[in-house]
């Protein structure tokens, strides 16, 4: 709600902030409201004060900002965890080829034919189809698991990779022994090997697609800087690469251009769009002596700037470092499936050794080998490989239909544990643009005054002008025709209606005309200002007709979101750069539990860390670049879809719309999907706990023995159960309106 009492632009030291406006690229309303003084933190990122971002040691070289191509997530190679050295494209290509090769392996498998009651056609060489193609599947499709299993052995941290590699290796060796007639064993596992590798590749492909790219945020930040800059010389200007700039250079920044470096304006005045830095949509009027920040845009006029910081010393580079540091500090949750796989590895290995020893001691070596191989093969559950990826994939699809994009594989799991949701105020809980909230006319005819104000503003595209025209239209008023429109830079606007001159503007306009506010109007305007609203006056010639209050309206859904979160036992906090009285007014209206006001952009992630230091698990909801470090620092970062690319990349979750109630959908989906994960894991693990002893022959004395074929069939049925259970997530209702 960036709206506060109007102040003349000649008092930039005023600490209060004002109404957020959309960047319109005009100079006609810089004081036209709501206000001209600047928000704390609008300039500070580029200041020279000790402790500011500019004085931070540059850990990221930011001087070479040529265009960065979009990262290709499919081909991006992951460097950490069980997927180190792997890419989504690798698992995808191996899955499809393995799937194609698996079809003839299953079709020509004698065991499958026996189970289904058919006989595959025989011809010269047909007996070698399953072993040859099975070997290709083992060596090609199984390569990622074999390499991963070796690495887990070296790290002494057995997990899914080692469990899969053990199963496919035993199946491979036993199948070749059977094919070559060695030992007289009947252990044809070629079809089981093929299906196991295929299903595991599918599961890991699905999982890899859910992995987020931590580098995306840094690429988006770097892309905010232009590739070239216009440097002033004695003979005019020259175009140079941004990397060639040095402190002390003088630049010409044209209308619509981005600042290539931090600097101070030496000549000219222009409104700068700082939304990519401050997260606030209002363009800020800058003139000689004012600092400007790299990445911001001069929207309406050209200015001359003296460079004060380049490369790694800029505020933008400082934010980039904060994002990188926050991402690096995020905890890495161990996947549930990996924990289950580690348990099953020890369980299967121990059961296999015990099975061989017992049967060997009984004097039946062939049966000992058969039972042991069966145990080791069926101990690797197809279902476990899909238990988590299937739930993640379906959850991602369901979330997307609800306007929620899940970018981080652990964000979904973490959301159910969140203790507090920290909302950035502007554009999240509020509309992020000015709206006319109240009107007051000296003669009591507020509708006439509003219609005249709308007539003056009809030809302007400024956000404040649009708000006034929209308010008149919503009240069913018809604005009279106006002509001779003129923008009064830094003061407001004027136009002629029916031969009479009318003006609309803030305190600077009254000061310029030396007009005093009527006593009867002052009571209303002071009340508006006290709650942080911006005040605009409507004048006929030099007579004040009345005033309008403009505020960043609270979204109707915000009240429902706050109360619904609290009803679920989740506290709600709010963070903003606004003055405290403005923040407190919004918090009081919404019933928010805790407020962080007057927070500089660089300090937002510090507030997240402060909450975490209390032992709270934090979900942060924001939309600006300055939110990016906080989004990355939070246990769950949630970016509003209308925010910048950087905010989107830094967050684990992105809301496609601006409805804060979508956070409720995320909470419900997190809790439901977590239940499904555990149900699937319990089923997949429980199947092994029960089937392995049967495969080992524990009940052989009673005539109950689980044959290799029966074990393989039960394993497939287990996979089907897990898949169907995951599908039940599709019945979950995620419409925000139904959750409040």
Residues acting as catalytic residues: 424
SS3 500: strand
Say how far apart CA 158 and CA 148 lie, in whole Å. Answer: 10
Query: Are residues 197 and 138 in contact, defined by beta-carbon separation less than 8 angstroms?
Result: yes
Query: Are residues 299 and 270 in contact, defined by beta-carbon separation less than 8 angstroms?
Result: yes
Half-sphere exposure of 519 (CA within 13 A, CB side): 0
Helices within 402-531 (DSSP H only): 411-415, 446-457, 463-474, 507-513, 519-530
* CA-CA-CA-CA torsion sign (676, 682, 688, 691): negative
Say how far apart CA 14 and CA 19 lie, in whole Å. Answer: 14
The length of the chain, given as a count of residues: 740
Residue 592: both structure tokens together = 């928010």
**What distances in angstroms separate CA 63 from CA 67, 312, 558, one per listed residue?**
12, 6, 41
| Partners of residue 252 on adjacent β-strands | 304
| Partners of residue 483 on adjacent β-strands | 496
403: left (phi over 0), alpha (psi -120 to 50) or beta: left
Query: Are residues 524 and 544 in contact, defined by beta-carbon separation less than 8 angstroms?
Result: no
Say how far apart CA 504 and CA 544 lie, in whole Å. Answer: 10
Residue reference for tokens 């996979």: 719
Say how far apart CA 27 and CA 7 lie, in whole Å. Answer: 17
Residue reference for tokens 């300039």: 43
Nearest alpha-carbon partner for 261 in 220, 310, 330: 310
Half-sphere exposure of 450 (CA within 13 A, CB side): 26
Tell me how far the alpha carbon of residue 515 is from its chain's centroid: 50
Torsion on CA atoms 648, 650, 653, 658, rounded to nearest 10: -40
Geometric angle at alpha carbon 453, from 450 and 455, rounded to 5°: 110
Query: Are residues 427 and 625 in contact, defined by beta-carbon separation less than 8 angstroms?
Result: no
Residue 326: both structure tokens together = 């926050």
Q: Is the omega angle on the peptide bond into residue 529 within 30 degrees of 0, that is, cis?
A: no
Say how far apart CA 579 and CA 594 lie, in whole Å. Answer: 15
Phi, psi of 142 (to 5 degrees): -85, -5
Query: Are residues 345 and 161 in contact, defined by beta-carbon separation less than 8 angstroms?
Result: no
């Amino acid at each position: 709600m960036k709206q506060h009492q109007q102040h003349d632009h000649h008092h930039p030291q005023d600490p209060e902030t004002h109404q957020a406006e959309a960047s319109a690229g005009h100079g006609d309303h810089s004081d036209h409201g709501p206000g001209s003084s600047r928000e704390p933190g609008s300039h500070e990122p580029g200041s020279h004060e000790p402790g500011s971002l500019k004085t931070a040691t540059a850990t990221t070289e930011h001087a070479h900002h040529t265009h960065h191509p979009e990262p290709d997530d499919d081909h991006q190679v992951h460097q950490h965890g069980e997927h180190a050295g792997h890419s989504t494209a690798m698992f995808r290509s191996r899955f499809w080829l393995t799937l194609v090769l698996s079809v003839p392996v299953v079709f020509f498998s004698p065991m499958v034919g026996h189970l289904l009651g058919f006989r595959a056609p025989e011809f010269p060489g047909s007996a070698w189809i399953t072993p040859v193609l099975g070997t290709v599947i083992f060596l090609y499709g199984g390569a990622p698991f074999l390499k991963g299993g070796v690495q887990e052995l070296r790290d002494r941290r057995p997990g899914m990779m080692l469990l899969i590699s053990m199963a496919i290796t035993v199946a491979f060796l036993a199948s070749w022994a059977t094919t070559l007639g060695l030992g007289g064993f009947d252990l044809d596992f070629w079809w089981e090997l093929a299906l196991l590798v295929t299903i595991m590749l599918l599961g890991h492909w699905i999982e890899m697609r859910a992995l987020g790219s931590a580098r995306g945020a840094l690429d988006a930040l770097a892309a905010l800087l232009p590739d070239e800059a216009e440097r002033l010389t004695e003979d005019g200007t020259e175009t140079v690469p941004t990397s060639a700039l040095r402190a002390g250079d003088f630049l010409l920044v044209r209308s619509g251009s981005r600042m290539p470096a931090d600097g101070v304006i030496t000549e000219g005045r222009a409104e700068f769009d700082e939304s990519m830095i401050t997260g606030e949509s209002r363009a800020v009027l800058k003139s000689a002596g004012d600092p400007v920040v790299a990445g911001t845009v001069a929207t309406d006029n050209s200015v001359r700037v003296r460079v004060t910081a380049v490369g790694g010393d800029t505020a933008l580079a400082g934010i980039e470092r904060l994002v990188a540091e926050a991402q690096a500090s995020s905890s890495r949750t161990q996947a549930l499936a990996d924990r289950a796989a580690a348990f099953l590895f020890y369980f299967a290995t121990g059961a296999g050794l015990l099975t061989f020893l017992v049967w060997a001691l009984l004097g039946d070596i062939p049966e000992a080998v058969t039972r042991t191989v069966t145990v080791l093969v069926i101990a690797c559950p197809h279902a476990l490989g899909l238990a988590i990826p299937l739930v993640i994939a379906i959850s991602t699809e369901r979330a997307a239909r609800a306007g929620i994009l899940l970018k981080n594989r652990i964000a979904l799991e973490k959301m159910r544990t969140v203790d507090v949701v920290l909302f950035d105020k502007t554009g999240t809980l509020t509309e992020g643009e000015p709206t006319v909230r109240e009107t007051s006319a000296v003669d009591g005819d507020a509708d006439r005054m509003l219609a005249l104000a709308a007539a003056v503003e009809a030809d302007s595209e400024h956000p404040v002008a649009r708000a006034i025209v929209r308010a008149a239209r919503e009240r069913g008023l018809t604005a009279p025709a106006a002509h001779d429109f003129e923008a009064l830079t830094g003061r407001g606007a004027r136009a002629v209606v029916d031969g009479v001159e009318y003006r609309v503007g803030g305190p600077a306009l009254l000061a310029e005309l030396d007009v005093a506010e009527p006593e009867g109007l002052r009571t209303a305007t002071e009340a508006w200002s006290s709650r942080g609203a911006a005040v605009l006056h409507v004048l006929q010639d030099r007579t004040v007709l009345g005033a309008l209050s403009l505020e960043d309206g609270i979204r109707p859904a915000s009240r429902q979101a706050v109360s619904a979160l609290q009803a679920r036992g989740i506290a709600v906090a709010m963070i903003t750069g606004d003055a405290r009285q403005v923040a407190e007014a919004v918090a009081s209206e919404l019933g928010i539990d805790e407020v962080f006001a007057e927070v500089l952009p660089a300090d937002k992630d510090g507030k997240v860390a402060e909450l975490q230091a209390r032992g709270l698990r934090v979900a942060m909801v924001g939309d600006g670049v300055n939110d990016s470090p906080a989004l990355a620092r939070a246990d769950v970062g949630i970016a509003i879809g209308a925010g910048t690319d950087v905010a989107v990349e830094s967050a684990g979750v992105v809301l496609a719309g601006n409805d804060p109630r979508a956070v409720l959908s995320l909470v419900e989906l997190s809790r439901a999907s977590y239940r499904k994960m555990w149900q699937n894991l319990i089923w997949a693990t429980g199947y092994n706990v029960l089937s392995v002893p049967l495969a080992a022959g524990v009940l052989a004395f009673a005539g109950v023995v689980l044959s290799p074929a029966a074990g393989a069939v039960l394993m497939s049925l287990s996979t089907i159960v897990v898949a169907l259970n995951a599908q039940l997530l599709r019945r979950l209702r995620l419409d925000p309106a139904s959750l409040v």
